[in-house]
Chain A
Amino acid sequence: MLSEKWKCFCCPPIVKPPRRGVIVPMDSTRPEHERQIQTQAHQLLAQTQTSPVKPKRKKSDLTLAAVVIIQTWFRRRRALYEMRRKTAWTIYQNIEYAGEQDQLKLYNFFLELMQAVTKNPHDAQVVAKVLRRNSSLTGLVEEIETENLAAAEVISVEPSYRGPHIHTPIHKGHFEALIIAFQRGETLHAHYVFLILQELRNILKRLPNINIVSTHQSKCVTVVGDLHGSFADLMVIFHKNGLPSNENPYIFNGDIVDRGFQSIEVFLLISVAFIVYPNNVYLNRGNHEDHVLNLRYGFMKEIIYKYKSNATRLLRLMENIYSWLPIASLIDDHIFVTHGGISDITDIKKINKIKRHKYVSVLSPSFIIPPNEDQFQISSIPNDILLEWRQILDLLWSDPKQTDGCEPNTYRGGGCYWGPDVTQQVLQKHNWSLLIRSHECKEEGFGYSHDKKVLTIFSASNYYAAGSNRGAYVKVMTNQPLVIVQFMSTRTSQRTLTLWERVSYVEDQAIKNLAEKFTANKSRLMHEFQLFDVQNTGRISVNDWCDVVTRVLDLQLPWRTLKSRLVDTDMNGNVVYESTFRSRELQFTSSVSTNVRRESLCQAIYRNKDLLETVFRAIDKDNSGVISMQEFTEVCTFLGKHNGSTLDEKQIMDLAASIDLNKNGVIDFNEFLEAFRIVDTGDRL
């Protein structure tokens, strides 16, 4: 039934195979002998005209030498590709981190503005609108409200609906029916989605903050890491490891949604497994189980697209469900499983006391940061509340680091970087032997840190691009060593991709991303290039090119290694800098005349597309895709101030008018954003 194929890497070697000595058919493999072979090779294949008498060589020596030459050259070719693959990986990681930092900066900017109340009341209004999206419902009011939200009866199922029908009590048959339907690409009817989520919520509410997991009955439990909406990977895991059941328990360690295109399907499937086997399927909350992140990282978009008029209600219900997800699991009292990690203050007793469901968003819990108070000061939050917040934040957002200590995680904007000493301390305090976490993409799908006391497990293969990384899951078995299983879901081929194929897929996309960044920053880059090109030759040194690009893009990448794939160089090895933008152009779909004045504005909008989209969505309370022109210009100008771009109010209004999207004082921001695209013009310089 499942069509995905993969290469099985059960219990893979963590290190590459050790170097082999030269295998000589007859003699020993002493090093001096190896070198003798080398020189023999040179001699044998040398065109020796000088020595008239060639010594007789055994045929096997000759063969050996020939074989080594071929092997050596092949390994060199392979290494070039390995290098390219690793370089592409570096690009993805850097861009991802840069994006997260951006998000963080934006968020901090909002928070700072909340405090600077007297500076500009106008700004405060915009910010307030954005943050007011967070809802804080308490107690009974919440129950009634959520009951209304979750009510499935309100939505009727049309006779024309051909998908699966789910009824209570939900059982294994429903689970299997959903698998088949989702494999066919079907969307479950909203009525049944609400039914499932209502059931899910009812069970989740009864759970403690930390799942207590025991392998006593089943002898094993499988831990799955980030899935990020990858239905294909979930299928591979179920195929290799079996469906969840009372004999085959699973722990899903968060980040089920966002980024991938089937987040809701993956979430529903896991939810149904949980409903059917509530004592053997465990859910941990991840940092992406948070509406603040869903705004930007795709889940919200997916829901709006798939569920249209029911989207708003569905999203509000998801917000509530996230808050009821447990935040960690403990296996057999000695293996702690949580999405992000730990920090120097991690204390299970304190965690157990928290009313986890106050934290509708973990990144920005609204009961801490009131959404509609202008007079708010972050320094006014009492210490014990801050510490409690940190307990949860650190569990979901932290990353391990190599050196000792514990510092705030500036990449992510939440949680800590924690060192081996903290691992030691926390494990010892609680009598744990191992920490299993996820949160970070690993090339091999898994990775150990801190002297093997921390295991990262990441289950979304091809996360950055096809071929970029493997996924993995881990089987924990009573009194046995861990078994880590790797996989890579491939849609296209029936066999594993060769190195050449993986590299070209991965690299293509990475290079495209970079090329787009160049085009989006063209004005600034050209300006800087020309500063170095006093004599107007159109060329600058490699050094200068690397300098400029690093500075303007603010990306620390191996530019020298990448250069050959990005730009043209002349005979002297200097960079023809115009080729940085070869065959790519920032274009607009409608009849907009893109004169030079507007060029930098358009580039600025393109660069900030993600941020703009995030803020637009936040303002768009009813998820209609439309906001007022007033709000629209506010946001653009506001963001302009945030990162110093030239988003002048009048220019934007002109632009919007010329794109003819201003219809009666409202603007469809999706259309607006879609209007800016970088296209391949197909011509080379």
Chain B
Amino acid sequence: MATIDEETNIAGEAGPAAPRTTLRDPVRESEERANQARLKRLTEAFTIFDQEANNTIPSTELGTVVRSLGLVPTEGELQDVLSEMSDDSNPESIHLDRFLSVMNVLLKDRRYQGEPESKILRAFQVLDPDNNGFISEEELRNYLCKEGEPFNDEEFQDFMTIALDDESGGVCTYKEFIQNLVVEDND
């Protein structure tokens, strides 16, 4: 496993020190290229929220950044990530260095990948014990806004916009909805 010196890599092009041997190791080279590409990708996503251009983002934006990079943590898990990344002296913001080192580990260990589609289907079926194939808006409101890690009004409104089925009106036919829920950002 190649070790990455984050300090130099944040700047961009400089990579890990080249091995002294003149033999080229294609596997290692491609691994390094992949590492560099990933670092650039992570840094870019982070920088979008770096308003003051000082390599920090507000803690409140961490969820958006982490999720947009392919991870699917719950709010509780996100809290864990946050405490790993944040600095006691400055809990309101997260520095790029800490972000990169923690993210690298998370990505390498394939953490917080989220449940596969089959399990999401199961989840809906649990909420639909009569096996109707759909759930009403009312029921969804009861579940999603009151239990688990509840939605706020804005989140629920956005959820209903995509969850409700135009044709059957007022209910969520979840089997089709799941496709929409796990939409990928083609990267």
Contact = CB atoms under 8 A, between A and B. Distances in A.
Interface of A: 15-17, 19-23, 25, 31, 34-35, 38, 41, 45-46, 62-80, 82-83, 86-87, 90, 402, 496, 498-500, 542-543, 558-561, 564
Given A38-B74, A66-B124, A561 B45 contact: yes
User: What are the 5 tightest A-B residue pairs by CB atom distance, in nearest-first order?
Assistant: A79-B67, A67-B148, A66-B123, A83-B68, A66-B126
B114 A558 contact: no
A544 to B, nearest CB: 12
A19 B162 contact: no
Given A70-B144, A79-B67, A498-B157, A22 B123 contact: no
B147 interface: yes
Contact of A20 (B124, B144, B149, B186): B149
B33 to A, nearest CB: 9
Contacts of A73: 72, 114-115, 120, 181-182
B76 A22 contact: yes
B75 A20 contact: yes
A439 B161 CA distance: 35
A71 to B, nearest CB: 5
Nearest to A443: B51
8 contacts: A16-B60, A45-B119, A46-B119, A70-B144, A71-B75, A72-B72, A74-B155, A79-B66
A564 B122 contact: no
Given A70-B143, A77-B183, A402-B52, 16 more contacts: A19-B78, A20-B150, A22-B74, A38-B77, A46-B119, A67-B143, A69-B123, A70-B181, A71-B150, A72-B75, A74-B155, A75-B155, A77-B180, A83-B45, A500-B158, A564-B186
B48 A90 contact: yes
Contact of B67 (A67, A76, A499): A76
B126 A62 contact: yes
Q: Is the interface of A mostly helix, strand, loop or mixed?
A: helix
B127 A63 contact: yes
A621 to B, nearest CB: 43
Contacts of A498: 157-158, 161
Interface string B73-86: 11111110000000
Interface stretch (B1-9, B20-28, B36-44, B96-104): B36-44
A303 B79 CA distance: 55
A558 B65 CA distance: 13
A69 B158 CA distance: 17
Nearest to B112: A72
Interface of B: 37, 40-41, 44-45, 47-49, 52, 54, 60, 63-68, 71-79, 114-115, 119-120, 122-124, 126-127, 143-144, 146-152, 154-155, 157-159, 161-162, 180-183, 185-187
B40 A66 contact: no
A63 B126 contact: yes
B82 to A, nearest CB: 8
Residue among A35, A69, A72, A496 with max Cβ neighbours from chain B (10 Å): A72
Given A17-B152, A38-B77, A72-B114, A542 B37 contact: yes
B68 A25 contact: no
B159 to A, nearest CB: 6
Contacts of B124: 66, 70
Contact of A72 (B52, B74, B79, B161): B74
A185 B47 CA distance: 43
A13 to B, nearest CB: 11
B181 A65 contact: no
Nearest to A16: B60
Contact of A79 (B40, B63, B149, B157): B63
A65 B123 contact: yes
B122 A77 contact: no
Nearest to B49: A86
A74 B129 CA distance: 22
Given A79-B67, A561-B44, A71 B114 contact: no
B155 A78 contact: yes
A594 B41 CA distance: 39
Contacts of A77: 180-183
B147 A63 contact: yes
Given A38-B77, A80-B183, A68 B48 contact: no
Contacts of B48: 83, 86-87, 90, 558, 561
B144 A67 contact: yes
Nearest to B54: A402
A67 B64 contact: no
B74 to A, nearest CB: 5
Given A74-B181, A79-B64, A79-B68, A64 B148 contact: yes
A560 B40 contact: yes
A73 B146 CA distance: 17
Contacts of B152: 17
Contacts of B72: 72-73, 76
Residue among B37, B47, B185 with max Cβ neighbours from chain A (10 Å): B185
A71 B185 CA distance: 19
A71 B145 CA distance: 10
Residue among B52, B76, B186 with max Cβ neighbours from chain A (10 Å): B76
A80 B143 contact: no
Residue among B68, B71, B123 with max Cβ neighbours from chain A (10 Å): B123
Contacts of B185: 80, 564
Contacts of A21: 75-76, 149
Given A45-B119, A75-B67, A83-B64, A560 B158 contact: no
Contacts of A543: 37, 40
Contacts of A86: 48-49, 64
A64 B157 CA distance: 21
B13 to A, nearest CB: 9
B123 A19 contact: no
Nearest to B122: A45
Given A63-B126, A561-B48, A68 B37 contact: no
A8 to B, nearest CB: 13
B39 to A, nearest CB: 11
A558 B47 contact: yes
B170 to A, nearest CB: 17
Contact of B114 (A15, A16, A76, A82): A76
Given A25-B147, A67-B144, A561-B48, A82 B64 contact: yes
A21 B114 CA distance: 19
A585 to B, nearest CB: 25
A543 B15 CA distance: 14
B6 to A, nearest CB: 18
Given A73-B120, A87-B48, A78 B158 contact: yes
